[in-house]
Structure 1
């Protein structure tokens, strides 16, 4: 199953939405890669197993389940998560790419590529839509949390360390 969507970060038509710079958004994406437990519900801990240049190898712990992934950072542009498939977990990738069509607009594109088969039956299509909706909600939450951390909307200071 492949799925992608776009979230608008800055809305020049809505002065109530705090403006973020590309650099602030990037800081938030790096924070999500290095401290995912701040963003991912149900994630107990994350161990960074190795760090080489712009690439991280991580181990994510969800209760008794462990997932390994590789994170590739393209500074100021994108973060790609490659999840290793196991017998218990579906593999795939998520790429978050910053898009800035002009000085007043900023977007974050989410692209999912999974090993889940394409939906054929009505039940499979319904399941696929539920998964896509969950991805979308998680991504909206990610942007909300980046806003809070980067813009200091949840108290004094900005990014947690």
Structure 2
């Protein structure tokens, strides 16, 4: 299953949305890569096994389960997560890319590529829509938390 969507970061027409700079957004994406337990519900801990250049090898601990992934950072552009498939976890990738079509217009594109099969039955389609909705909600939460961390708006730790 492949899925992508876009979240608007800055909205110059809405004075209630405090804008982020590209650097602030990038800072938040790096924080999410290095300390994912601040962003991902149910994640107990993250161990960075190796750091080489722009790549992190990580081990994520969810209760008794462990997931390994590789994070590739492309400076001020994108963060790509490659999750290794196991018997219990779906493999795939997530790329978060910063888009700036015009000055002060920032967007974050989330692009998921998973090993989940393409939906062929109605049940499969419904399951696929539930997964997409969960991804979307998680991504909206990620952007909200990035705002809190980089702009100092409240205590993101209160979430856990």
In 2, the alpha carbon distance for the partners of 1:136 and 1:27 equals 21
Structure 1 residue 104 displacement after superposition: 2.2
Question: In structure 1, what is the equivalent of residue 100 of structure 2?
Answer: 100
- With structure 2 as the length reference, what TM-score do the two structures score? 0.96
Aligned pair count reads 155
Residues 1:140 and 2:140 are matched in the alignment:
yes
Indicate the RMSD between aligned Cα atoms, in angstroms.
0.6
Specify every segment of 5 or more residues in structure 2 that has no aligned partner in the other structure, as ranges. 156-160
Q: Map 1:1-161; keep pairs closer than 5 Å.
A: 1-154=1-154
Equivalent position SS for 2:9: strand
Distance 1:154 1:30 in 2: 20
Name the SS of the counterpart of 1:72 in structure 2: strand
Q: Aligned partners of 1:67, 1:56: CA distance in 2, in Å? A: 14
Partner secondary structure for residue 119 of structure 1: coil
Gaps of 5+ in 1: 156-161
Q: Normalising to structure 1: TM-score of the pair?
A: 0.95
Residue-by-residue CA offset, 1:62-104 (whole Å, 9 max, x unaligned): 0000000000000100000000001111100000000001112
Distance in 2 between the 1:119 and 1:13 partners? 38
